[in-house]
Amino acid sequence: MPSRATVDAFVALVESGDYVGAIEQFYAADASTRENNGAPRVGRDNLMAIERHVMAAHKQIDARKLAPVLIDADTVAIVWRFEFTTLHDTMRTMEEVAWQKWRGEQLLEEQFFYDPQQMLAERPVARQEAATAS
């Protein structure tokens, strides 16, 4: 079971924008993630490579937890909002629930639940947002 301090540190690292660092520091070597009902992606090194690819496709990604984190034994649930600023100055917003299974202080399995239609709704980035993202 993860401690509250460990989960809070994980959330803080994600909210700081260090997504690869969060995987490296908190995910088990044999961790897996999956999108909705998609096939699992397995292995911390693989997950870090996928995250680097996602980050390279965007100017900026901002994350914020929207509700208190729930911890029940080895299960953790986090409600997130991600704002993705594309390389072409458009923005997409996605809200999701990350359902996690931890093994001690390491994240072992994570499944994301979200409406994929959210990612289709692009909007131009306002000039002030674009200047901040650069």
Mean pLDDT across the chain, nearest whole number?
Answer: 94
Q: What pLDDT sits at residue 120?
A: 86
- Structure confidence at residue 36 (pLDDT): 94
3-state secondary structure of 88: coil
Torsions phi, psi of 9, nearest 5? -65, -40
User: Which pLDDT score is estimated for 125?
Assistant: 87
Banded model confidence at residue 28, pLDDT cuts 50, 70, 90: very high
- The packing angle between helices 19-26 and 4-15, to 10°, is 160
Between CA 113 and CA 108 the distance in angstroms is: 17
Helix axis angle, 19-26 to 44-56, nearest 10°:
170
pLDDT at 134: 53
CB 11 within 8 A of CB 57: no
Kindly state the average pLDDT of the residues 101-111. 98
Burial 76-103 (b: 16+ CB within 10 A, else e): bebbbebbbbeeeeebbebebbbbbebe
pTM confidence score: 0.90
Inter-residue contact 97 to 78 (CB < 8 Å): yes
Stretch 100-123: mean pLDDT, rounded? 94
Q: Is the pLDDT of residue 23 over 80?
A: yes
Instruction: Among 18-32, 46-60, 112-126, name the one with the lowest average pLDDT.
Output: 112-126
| Each residue's pLDDT tens digit, 45-94 | 999 999 999 999 999 999 999 999 999 999 999 999 999 999 999 999 99
Specify the range with the lowest mean pLDDT, choosing from 34-43, 66-75, 119-128.
119-128
Residue corresponding to tokens 């629930």: 97
CATH number of 4-133: 3.10.450.50
Q: Is the pLDDT confidence value at 30 over 60?
A: yes
Q: Checking DSSP bridges between strand 123-124 and strand 90-103, what pairing results, if any?
A: antiparallel
